[in-house]
Amino acid sequence: MSAGGLSSTRLSRMHEVLAGYVERGEVPGLVAMVSRRGEVHADAIGGMSIGGRPVQRDTIFRISSMTKPVTAAATMILVEEGKLRLDEPVDRLLPELADRRVLKRIEGPVEESEPAHRPISVRDLLTFRMGLGYLFPMDQSPIHRAVAELGLGPGAPRPSADPAPDEFMRRVGTLPLMFQPGERWLYNTPAEVLSVLIARASGQAFDVFLRERLFEPLGMKDTGFSVPGAKLDRLATSYMPNPQTGALEVYDPAEGGDWSRPPVFPNGAGGLVSTAGDYLLFAQMLMDGGQSGKARILSRPSVELMTTDQLTPDQRSTSGFGPEFFADHGWGFCLYIVTRRTQFSSLGSYGWGGGMGTLWESDPREEMITILMTQTGQASSSASGVFLDFPTLAYAAIDD
């Protein structure tokens, strides 16, 4: 048994199972990382592209929605400094969201609306209860068509298609809310809005704020919204499965792709690239109560608040992620919380994944962090294949 309480025999079994996904062509390559009690096990398997150079521990991946918890941490930095308050209206810094109107019926015309009962708060954005976001399926009513026409609908991140931050807010401001503020959990859009809020509250571009206040203090040297030319040879090719055949098709290449140049809108919902090692530094900071070495990023109470379930049963009812997700998960600030033990994760574990093929969870009870980086997009919001097997195999390696 290792110092981290992990079985080397069972970690070898994990390698064999993960390697099978590469051998079968389900993912070109992956980096799997298990950290327990300070001991880190990392496994790099396969290629950076189909038939390409081998994946390395420092291979860079598009982490899509694993950007969201980073955005929440950045928000809490500003809350701790008194530049934002959790329950204040966002109107002061986001006047585009003042005087909101709300649909009378979700399936009704966008013109049929009524005044919002109250303003949108910072907490509403962090908990995805602003009243606007993804409500699947996204093609069933006039509000969905209006969202799509503005280029604000769901899909894998595509930075070159994003409008500039102020234009993004202008577009959001033309829409009625789907539900009253605080009424329902709706995915994604609130994290995009937080990107703009953080920039305006801090007086810095969002990417600059993240670099100076999070990435540099934590030593996350390969994390950002684009990959500089000198590092492009470490960026994996992004693939998406063909909806009809399941065959992997290139979504974004490294050279000349969307992440090879800085975006107009550094998007806090899904725009970051990172490595498994970099993201472990962020996750370990949260696990350690906001501390990283000598650097204090957040206070322990802030981290505890971020990782506490904030939702009522009614707020989960129209999430679009299906009732099965919220049957055993809650939602903190831009991340899930395990609220019922139906899998191996302990109660209170937290994390999130990225639809382009990444996964992270921290289990404070077991003092364990698991990170999986691939670059093969998931066909649905329900985990499957390697994204189910990796966490199971990691917990099966516990040997104490």
Q: How far apart are CA 63 and CA 360, in angstroms?
A: 10
pTM for the model stands at 0.95
Whether 131 contacts 184, CB under 8 Å: yes
Characterise 229 by phi-psi region: left (phi > 0), alpha (psi -120 to 50), beta (else): alpha
Can you give the pLDDT at residue 292? Answer: 94
Fold of 8-66+205-396: Beta-lactamase (3.40.710)
Cβ-based neighbours of 351, under 8 Å, separated by 6 or more? 69, 283, 335, 336, 359, 360, 361, 362
What average pLDDT does range 183-189 have in this prediction?
92
User: Of 318, 349, 394, which is closest to residue 103 (Cα–Cα)?
Assistant: 318
User: Would you list the domain boundaries of the chain?
Assistant: 8-66+205-396, 73-202
pLDDT tens, position by position, 253-272: 999 999 999 999 999 999 99
For residue 1, pLDDT beyond 60: no
pLDDT tens, position by position, 102-153: 999 998 999 999 999 999 999 999 999 999 998 876 667 899 899 989 988 8
73-202 CATH: 3.40.710.10
**Structure token pair of residue 224:** 């950002």
